[in-house]
Structure formats: structure tokens, C-alpha cells
Structure 1
Amino acid sequence: MDGRFDVAIIGGGVVGNAVARELSRYQLKICVLEKELDVCNGVSGHNTGLLHSGILHKRGTLRTECCMEGNAEFEQVAKELDVPFKRCGKFIVGSGEEERKRLTALYERGLDNGIPGIRMLDESELKEMEPNAQGEFAIFVPSAGILCPFSYTIALAENAAMNGVKHFFDHEVTGITKSADGYEIATTQETVSARWIVNCAGLYSYKIAEMLGYDSYKPNRVKGEYIILDKRVGDKLSRPIYPTPNEAGAFDVHVTPTIDGNILVGPTIEMIGKNVNYDATQGMIQHLGKMGAELFPYVRKEYYIRNYAGVFPTLENPDSDEELDFQIQTKEEVPCTVNVVGITSPGLTSALPLARRVVEKIKNSEKLTSNPDFNPVRKGIVRFAEQSKEVQDQLIKKNPDYGEIFCRCECVTKAEIKQAIHNILGVSTVSGIKYRTRATMGRCQGGYCETRITAQIQQELNKDKTEILLNKKNAYMFVGEVRPDEEA
């Protein structure tokens, strides 16, 4: 460990890395403590990848304020961080008089919130804009967009690292004690010293809050399952389609094109209390297929390529059964701490606005000096598949590794794999390479390229095959010989 830190951020999701990036604008020694082996392995990596507009929640809440702020600035953010993004808009569709009433109420909330450009559509207008959308009427929300949550979180983390932030993976926080001039943070690896602590621990933020001495919160987690559809139907849908919210104001299954050309169906909604359960189930797959097909007719089994689940950190107010708004807390009895809890959807959209508010909390206690060397620009790995034939030829001429395809489904080259392996964060898992290049994300789900990626990690990092991990601690790619050598 590299000495004492000014700020230790607990949690390597999108909000934690947004805080790291914003704090790196100042002359501070900063670290991020993450219990997993990479960023974006929790809530941030298991969502729909939607840039929300702010229509879904009431005006005046921190959730809505941060969402709208994050939405408005995202073109500039995506440009700085070299993150793929499309402001395509979305539809919220309905049928029948009961849904018309609920949709009208949602439309009026959108007007009250000041959501730009929203309008009601009849069925003919909906079909003209999105021929495969199912519905008798709809709200069109033009400010919504799509992005990749992995690409965005990785970009925030890499930009923070470029500006001096240290990331420590496999460092689960197990205890926190006050010291004379800050805090001693016990982790599964070592003890970290810091003057400030920022709690951005996502699903486990309530545990860190209790360690720090904040209020006790009761987690009432939500599990959502998804299906990913093949790119063969990607051109059949240009914008997300949401159903009318139910009587409780929640959305059931929706259908969303991804920034990379697939289509997501989901999530489902299942209250699971304190559990953290990522199991994908046959019953929910059937539910996804049925509900998704009511919005988009190409939700068919022949197009399914994968399913997965996310868990979201809904917290209940300790004084009531209501869901908490976003919370950015300080407490006089717990000096030099910022407690960020209750961050569920739209946390991805709200990450940088939340981070700026965390910085302001710290500024309220001490003067921060600007970092004259801060650079907000980060360049990602050039995606060979997205380049023109002329550019591809130039890339191959400069580096022959661009001429060797590792992942056929996504057309990812050896050059891209090698760049990902040598990432600034030091991540070397197979999934870490996957989320930096899209290798293994195609139709065959790694059947062709996974062994090649594993071999390249071995070669580039001088690792033995028994050391290669899929995504988590102890998730070894190889655990023994399939056919051991026989004695002569």
C-alpha cells in the first residue's frame, strides 16, 4: 500500500469512480477500495444501460435533480471519455383507458419536471416512428438515450487513474476505526489509512454506513432478470419501449436496444429483501418472453443468446416503509465522511452529478486546491469492427495484430485484446477483457475466442494457466487436467 491517503472511496461502481474522477481535479491522494477484481461488477454492470430523462420520479427529489443534470451534460461527458452513446429517445406505450389515465398522469409529471420535448403520440404516429412497437398510444421522450454501463464505468475509472487515483481490487472492507487524524480501514488484504472516507458501496452501502456510525438502513433489494437478443434483430428496434407503469408506479418488463446492436428484454421485478441472488430462472425467462413480445414481436426464443440477473440496492427509510430518495449525508459525530446511500435507478445517469455534490460536501469542511495537471480526456481502445475499410487497412499496416481476429462474432482483433490486457487498472480476468473489448459477447458467447483470450493473458502477463480467473476470486478457468498424462 502506498502510504496514507487523503480520501478513500469504498466501492468501485459507477458512482464510486465518478467521485474518484471528480476528486482527482484537486491535489489529493485518492484510492478506491473494491471488493471484486474489477470495477462495475455489482449494480453498475447489471442494468439496462439507459440514459434516463427524469420523467419517472417527482420534481424536487435529489434523484430527479441529478438525473436531469446528468442527462443534459452527457454528450460532453461521452466525448471527453470516448464512450459510445446515442440520444435516441424512448417510448412509453399503453393500451386501453386505464393505461391511458396512468400514462396521461406520467406525461403531466414530465411536463411539471420540465422534461424537454416530450409529447403524446397516437398509434399511427407511434408506428410511423417505430414500426415494430406495440401500443395504442405513447409518450415520446426524446432526451433519453442508450450507453454501455461497463464502458462508462471503466472510462471513469481509467480517467481517474490517469489523474493519479489508485485502485485496490480484492479489498473488501471489514471494519473501520477512528484514528487521531482520520480513519483506519481494515480490508481482507491490509489496513488502509485515510483522512476522509466516501461510502459508495452500492448493495453494501448500508453495511459501511453502520461501520461509520450513520443510521441503520434496512435493505429491501430488487432482483431483475434480463434476456439478451441476437444482433440479427438489432435493426428491428431503434428506441427503447417501456410499458405504462403499473398502479404502484413501477415499470414491468421493457425492451431496449443496446449501444452495441443487441436488444435487452427486462428487467423483471422481484423483491428479495436482504438477499443477493443473481440466479437466472426458467420461470422469469418465460415471463420476460411473454411480456417482451407484447411490446416488440421479435422477442422469440430463436433470438435469445443469453440471460442474466441484476440486484438493485433499494433502501427503506428507517422511520417508514417508503423507499429512500438518493442520500448524500454528512454527520458531525462522524467527521470527514460522506455517506452515499440509496442509489438505485437512475444512478448511472446521475453518477457525475452525485459525485460533484460529494465534492461540495468535502469543500464545506476544507479548502481544496485545484490539480493543474488534471486531464478530463480519456481515449478508449479503437474498435476495429467499427472502422472503415481504409482505416482498417491502415491499422493493420501499422500493427499486424489488427489483422488477426480473436472474436469472430464481434470482430475483435488480437491488437485490441492485448491493449485490454495492459489496461491502466491492472485488471487481468477474462471478463475484464470481455468488458473492454466485447470479445465473448456475440452469438457463440466465447465458444471460439475464450481459449485464445486466456492464452494471450498467459503470454502477456507471464501467468500460468492455473492462475487465470474468469471474473471473481477463486473462479479459475482451469482446475485440472481433462485427460492426465498416462504413465508409459
Structure 2
Amino acid sequence: MRDNTYDILIIGGGVIGSSVARELSRYRLRIGVLEKELDVACGNSCRNTGMLHAGFTYKPGSLKAECAVEGNREFDQVAQELDIPFKRTGKVVVGFSDEDMQNILRFKRIGELNGVRGLEMIDKAKLNQIDNSAGGEFALYSRDSGILNPMLYNIALAENAHQNGVDFFFDSEVKAIKRQGEHFQVTAGDSVFSSRWIVNCAGMHCVTISEMLGLHGHQVKGFKGEYYVLDKKASQFMNIPVYPAPNAKGGFSTHATPTVDGNILVGPDSYITEDPDDFASTRDHMQGLVKDGSAIFKHMKAEYFIRNFAGTRWKRVDPETGDVLDFLIENRDDHPGVVNLIGIESPGLTCALPIARRVVAKIQEKEVLEVNNDFNPYRKGIVRFAEQSKERKKELIATDPDYGEIVCRCETVTRAEIVQAINNPLGAVTLTGIKNRTRACMGRCQGGYCETRITALIQEQCKVREHEVMYQHKGSGMFIGKVREVLDGE
């Protein structure tokens, strides 16, 4: 019988929960992660631009500013440890008017107060030299900004935590939390867990968990943004993320960002949503992205559009004024054994590990943690066949003939990579999970060729029936029945 007793339970397997799990695994603790989805990287941790922010838009002295600068400076080492693709591309914030100039200069001053390095005002000639597809008469150039794959980052954090002893439980939505003496009894999915500590990393559902824990009064507000994904053919026209000048309140409208994998994202816009699971794309907002995106990316053409998606940011707000507040990491004396994280939205991707270290520090204020001398910060990802030299490709095929069979033509993903993804360390198997780990189905045809082949491989490797293969969420079956029944003897 499985022992569900833990020192620390983390609620949420997004980038924050997985970061906390990794940092806590540096100590001799029994740690579990409860995730309501069938894999990590299913919520807002994968529905964003994938920017490594420099930290020049956040209030000086705030936790957002402090963690963004800290997270930015360490990320070359983090990317090397976790074996994830990362490019320190820099970023430009472009302007057209005197008002734009004043707003940009204000953020340059904020960045300098926050300790952001490499901020420089550049003219149109220098802007065109950096990227001649960017609109604008002048720009703020942020040397240290960068781009990463948010799905792979989340996956890598979770896999590294798991290899250091952390247990992950999927399809385990938290339904109830009760305190019994010095322990919490947590009902999640079909199981009951016991733990001395609870860390609330539930993201957009953080207030729901906070209420279960008896920490009342917190309020969050949802801001939704939609995106276009442009084909890799458009990447020839863009070298660097391009943002428009911020408005007087400090917000950015639609921007264009090359991805670390070669696509371009245009978006997000921003509007209020009441539904945590509101990820629908809408005609009006897609049309708005075309108009606004064209101002900063000259090649915003329908021929390059291959997909769209939406994400949400759940900001912590003042219940009385509605003003957006800073990140909150609290451990209150009247609620011992709880570290409560509220309003961890953008730049949460950049801030994830710095936030995790602050969670560890909250726990260390209450008890001494024994260092895990066996902790290994390094994790190896799946080798991408498409990115290898001809010589290396020959070596891979000689080692494993499955590297010689292409399953996804658009992204040149091999059977060997798909099989490795299916047998991933976390044991999570959905079609989206395979996509996130290999980029299969993410090319021009969006799975038109390879989706059924991947489904067949999942059936083969996992010994399941076709109706048991899920696209992403529980109940999102790839098939509901057979188009035709094969007659006996055929």
C-alpha cells in the first residue's frame, strides 16, 4: 500500500510548483506535488510568451522586481543545468511619439533603480541595424532579455525534482484540506495525503486553495490575452523581441516575439476574464492582433498564421481599490505549516526559482532543514534529431534505428524521440505532453500528418486502447469510437 505521508505537499505542478519542488529537493525531505491535470505545463505556465524579462517595468523594491533581476542573471546557468534551449536575444521597446519617449525613459529609470544592466536608448538607425523589421522611430534596448521554451522549462524543473526524490501525482485536484494536530489531511483526486507543510502554488486557483487553508480575504483578477503563432518562414524577418512603448499606466499592448524554436508569437492583447479556464480564441481579438501587430512587425501576414491560443494572468488586487499588488509569499503564525503564494503572474516564468528559494527560506525560519548531499542539479533532455549535424545523425541512427524513422515531418521528429517522450520520467502520457517534449505536431500542418501516428505509438508503448489516449485534459479522448468495425477474418 502506498504511503501518502509527506513532510511537504506542494499544490500545483506549474512552473512555480515545479521550481519549489526542485529547490526543496536540495534537502532531506519527503515531498509530493499534487497536480489536477494529467501532466505538468498544462495551465498558464505554458500559455505565455516565453520571455526572460530583465526587470525594468516593476516597481523598485517590489518582490517582482527583485526576483526578475535575480532570475534573469542566473538563467544561463539554469538553462545549462536543466538542458533547455535558451537565447539571450535582448529586446527592444519601440516608440513613435514624444509621449512614447517619456514613457520609455521612465521605465529606463525604473530599470536602473532595480539594478537592470545593459539598458540603452537607441535611434532609428541603430534599431534598423538590430532588426530592420521592427517599427518605431527610436527604442529602449535591453541587452539581457531573452527567450526560452516555457513548456520545456516547466517539464525540466519537474523532471529534475523527480530525479531528486519528489513524487508527482497527476489527476489529483485538491478537494478538501483539514488540519489534524500538526498535520494536514488533503483529499486530492481519489486519495488522501498527510503532510506537515502545505505550499500553495495553485496559480489561477490560488485563492480557492487559500480559502481551504483558512487564509481568507485574498482577491485576484483575471486578465486574458490572445496570441497568433506564426510559421517559421516568418522568422527570417525578426531577430529580437519587439515591444511597443508602454502606456502611462505601465502596460504593454501587443508585441512580437521570436520563439527559441523558430516561430514568432504576436500578442498578447489584454482584457478582463472571470473564468480561470477561459482559453478560447475570439474573432474580434484575433483581428485586433493583426492590426496592432502590424505596427511593430512589418510582415504580419495571414500566410504565416498557423495557430492561435490564449492565456490568462491572475493578478493579486486590493479588495477595496482594485489596484494591482505585488506577489505575495506568506507564512503566518496563526496558520503554521502553510506557505501561501498569491498572485504569481507575469514575470513568474523569470521569477520562478527566486520565488522558490524564498519559499524554502520561509520554511527554514521555522525548522532546520538537513541538506541533501545527493542532490543533482543536472537533467538531460531528449536529443533533438533535427538540430544535429549529419555526422551526429548517422551516429544516432547507428545506435538506435528508431532515429531513422521520421514521425513528424514538419519538425523532423523521429520515432526515437517520441518513444523517449512517452516513457518520460514523470510517467505523464498525453498527446500534448508528447508535443511539449518533442515539438511534434507544432509545425506547419499542426499534426495533420503525425497526430494519428503518435497516438498509435502511445497505444503501443503504454498498452492502452485508443479511447484511453487523451489529448491533454481528463476526458479529452482522441477517439470516441471506430469509424468502421473490422470484420472477423479481414
Q: Helix, strand or coil for the counterpart of 1:453?
A: helix
Q: What are the residue-to-residue correspondences of 1:105-120 with 2, within 5 Å?
A: 105-120=106-121
Q: Note if 1:37 corresponds to 2:38.
A: yes
For 1:352 and 1:485, locate their aligned partners in 2 and report how far apart those are by CA, in whole Å: 53
Deviations 1:134-193 (A, max 9, x none): 100100000100000001000000000000100000100011100123100112321111
Residue matched to 1:418: 419
Superposed displacement of residue 104, structure 1: 1.6
CA contact (8 A) 2:37 2:171 kept: yes
Q: Helix, strand or coil for the counterpart of 2:59?
A: coil
Superposed displacement of residue 294, structure 1: 0.5
| Structure 1 spans left out of the alignment, 5+ residues | none
Q: Helix, strand or coil for the counterpart of 1:483?
A: coil
Superposed displacement of residue 351, structure 1: 0.3
For 1:108 and 1:31, locate their aligned partners in 2 and report how far apart those are by CA, in whole Å: 42
Q: Note if 1:141 corresponds to 2:136.
A: no
For 1:245 and 1:215, locate their aligned partners in 2 and report how far apart those are by CA, in whole Å: 34
Q: What are the residue-to-residue correspondences of 1:87-102 with 2, within 5 Å?
A: 87-102=88-103
Q: Helix, strand or coil for the counterpart of 1:220?
A: strand
Deviations 1:194-234 (A, max 9, x none): 11000000000011111111132222101000000000011
CA contact (8 A) 2:205 2:276 kept: no
- Name which of structure 1's ranges 245-254 and 342-351 shifts more when overlaid on structure 2: 245-254
Residue matched to 1:296: 297
Residue matched to 2:325: 324
Residue matched to 1:125: 126
Count of matched residue pairs: 488
Q: What are the residue-to-residue correspondences of 1:75-474 with 2, within 5 Å?
A: 75-474=76-475
Deviations 1:413-432 (A, max 9, x none): 00000000000100111111
- Name which of structure 1's ranges 350-359 and 323-332 shifts more when overlaid on structure 2: 323-332
Residue identity opposite 2:163 in structure 1:
M
Q: Helix, strand or coil for the counterpart of 1:285?
A: helix
For 2:113 and 2:325, locate their aligned partners in 1 and report how far apart those are by CA, in whole Å: 21
In structure 2, relative to structure 1, the CA distance for the partners of 1:205 and 1:275 (3 Å cut) is closer
Q: Helix, strand or coil for the counterpart of 2:336?
A: strand
CA contact (8 A) 2:224 2:270 kept: yes
- Name which of structure 1's ranges 336-345 and 207-216 shifts more when overlaid on structure 2: 207-216
Deviations 1:375-422 (A, max 9, x none): 000000000000000000000011100000000000000000000000
Residue identity opposite 2:478 in structure 1:
M
CA contact (8 A) 1:209 1:216 kept: no
Q: Helix, strand or coil for the counterpart of 1:302?
A: helix
Deviations 1:264-309 (A, max 9, x none): 0000101113553111011111111111110011111010000000
CA contact (8 A) 2:56 2:111 kept: yes
CA contact (8 A) 1:235 1:261 kept: no
Superposed displacement of residue 2, structure 1: 2.8
Aligned-CA RMSD value: 1.3
| Structure 2 spans left out of the alignment, 5+ residues | none
Residue identity opposite 2:427 in structure 1:
G
Runs of at least 4 residues off by over 6 Å: none
| TM-score, scaled to structure 1 | 0.98
For 1:405 and 1:486, locate their aligned partners in 2 and report how far apart those are by CA, in whole Å: 31
CA contact (8 A) 1:94 1:243 kept: yes
For 1:213 and 1:324, locate their aligned partners in 2 and report how far apart those are by CA, in whole Å: 21
For 1:276 and 1:244, locate their aligned partners in 2 and report how far apart those are by CA, in whole Å: 30
For 1:363 and 1:376, locate their aligned partners in 2 and report how far apart those are by CA, in whole Å: 20
For 1:146 and 1:313, locate their aligned partners in 2 and report how far apart those are by CA, in whole Å: 22
For 1:54 and 1:386, locate their aligned partners in 2 and report how far apart those are by CA, in whole Å: 32
CA contact (8 A) 1:8 1:194 kept: yes
Residue identity opposite 2:306 in structure 1:
I
CA contact (8 A) 1:220 1:274 kept: no
